[in-house]
Chains A and B, each alone.
Chain A
Amino acid sequence: MVRFPGSKNSTHHHPADPLLYTELLPTVWCHGCGIGTTVHAFIQALKDSSVEPKKVCVVSGLGCTGKISTYIKLRSHSAPYGNVVGRAAELKKENPHWHVVVFLNNADFLLTGARDFIDEAQKGTDLMVLYINNFLYTLNKTQAFPMSPFIRKSVDGKFDLPFNIPHLAKTYGARYVARWTPLQSGWLKHSLSEALFKREFGVIEVVSPCLMFSCDEGRIQDAGEKMKFYDDRSEFCYGENTENLDLRKEGKIRVGLFIESGRPLQEDHS
């Protein structure tokens, strides 16, 4: 029997419910935000992998991404002022058997977190960093900043390149580097379960649709269209050299797995 339109009296539960504070749902994120899909992929990855949920610890920081630790029923910590990776490294040091997962966003990274990120990558601490890049900084729609690929111009009117997170991570010694959008949810899930299992510094960048972000064509407010925009613009480049992963204005969002176990997937890639 199918209950229409909802199923308030349903005796079953959503498969993700055991790992969620269900009384807090629906989430605070805008309808169509990529963060929810990413969290869902993370929960599914946790269920698929052999990692014990008791040993997983989630650390998040500011802004929309910071709310993630509120909803997940795991050990969770919130770190202020962009000190997310630093806090996660402290937790890891105290509890070496934990799997520490860090949800970073642009504000956490650019405020003070970039230094910790680089430090821990160089030390090779066992952390899994999920970098949620929504091209936005403190919900500011027009201000250009080092992550905005479609609107930031230099003084001579040329478009500046944003940070290339996978390349940055690779350069400082991250041993697992991937980039996905929530539209490749299945791949994202697979990547997450792989990275959770491996005990090394891993970085997964998620280029997430944000309804506040506006590009030249204007702000897309319809969730379906927004998803389509990211789907059309992403290009599958498995094992691509991380140097070529810049997010250019007219270019594609290149997604895939680039570094595994510290080695590029295609050594002879030119």
Chain B
Amino acid sequence: MKYEIHILEERCKGCGICVEICQADVLELSPEANEKGIQVPYPKKPENCLNCGMGEMFCPDFAIYVWVNDDEEEVRE
């Protein structure tokens, strides 16, 4: 995948801002809570990612970022 979404679970507070802000419907809060009782988001449709960087920009806890994999081609339907 060209755009890899990385979520640092140990930093996330599960506020869901990144899920709200994402226009491409990539993220979703995971149904199960982790050991801290936090529903960490996960990339539900990672192939939709446009690398707009909005979730990264809005996350108050520096917990999510997009890493561009230069070795791979961008696939668009």
Contact among B9, B40, B62 with A14 in the assembled complex (CB-CB below 8 Å)? B62
Determine whether B24 belongs to the interface, using a CB cutoff of 8 Å to chain A.
no
Residue contact B59 to A36, C-beta cutoff 8 Å: yes
A41 CB contacts on chain B under 8 angstroms: 57
Interface size class of A (residues with CB under 8 A): 35 or more
A25 CB contacts on chain B under 8 angstroms: 10-11, 61-63
For the complex, count residues of B whose C-beta is within 8 A of A.
35
Contact among B17, B41, B57, B61 with A26 in the assembled complex (CB-CB below 8 Å)? B61
Determine whether A33 belongs to the interface, using a CB cutoff of 8 Å to chain B.
yes
Residue contact A35 to B42, C-beta cutoff 8 Å: no
With known contacts A37-B60, A227-B17, A7–B12 Cβ distance under 8 A: no
A243 CB contacts on chain B under 8 angstroms: none
The CA-CA distance from A223 to B19 in the complex, in Å, is 11
A22 CB contacts on chain B under 8 angstroms: 62
A44 CB contacts on chain B under 8 angstroms: 57
Residue contact B13 to A37, C-beta cutoff 8 Å: no
Q: Which of chain B's residues 27-68 have a Cβ closer than 8 Å to chain A? A: 30, 34, 40-43, 46, 56-63, 65, 67
With known contacts A5-B7, A12-B6, A224-B19, A40–B42 Cβ distance under 8 A: no
With known contacts A4-B42, A8-B9, A186–B57 Cβ distance under 8 A: yes
Determine whether A159 belongs to the interface, using a CB cutoff of 8 Å to chain B.
no
The CA-CA distance from A189 to B5 in the complex, in Å, is 22
The CA-CA distance from A39 to B61 in the complex, in Å, is 10
User: How far apart are B5's CB and chain A's nearest CB, in angstroms?
Assistant: 6
The CA-CA distance from A182 to B43 in the complex, in Å, is 24
Q: Which residue of B lies closest to A32 (CB)?
A: B15
With known contacts A17-B62, A224-B20, A8–B56 Cβ distance under 8 A: no
Query: Which of A31, A34, A185, A227 is the most central at the interface, judged by chain B CB atoms within 10 Å of its CB?
Result: A31
Instruction: Convert A28-64 into 0s and 1s, putting 1 for each residue whose CB lies closer than 8 angstroms to a CB of B.
Output: 0101111111011100100000000000000000000
User: How far apart are A222's CB and chain B's nearest CB, in angstroms?
Assistant: 8
With known contacts A5-B40, A26-B13, A33–B60 Cβ distance under 8 A: yes
The CA-CA distance from A53 to B28 in the complex, in Å, is 35
Residue contact A3 to B6, C-beta cutoff 8 Å: yes
A34 CB contacts on chain B under 8 angstroms: 60
A-B contact pairs, 20 of them (CB 8 A): A1-B1, A2-B1, A5-B7, A7-B9, A8-B9, A10-B8, A14-B8, A15-B56, A25-B11, A25-B63, A27-B61, A29-B60, A32-B15, A36-B61, A36-B62, A37-B58, A39-B60, A40-B58, A40-B60, A185-B57
Q: Which residues of B contact A (CB under 8 A)?
A: 1, 4-17, 19-21, 30, 34, 40-43, 46, 56-63, 65, 67
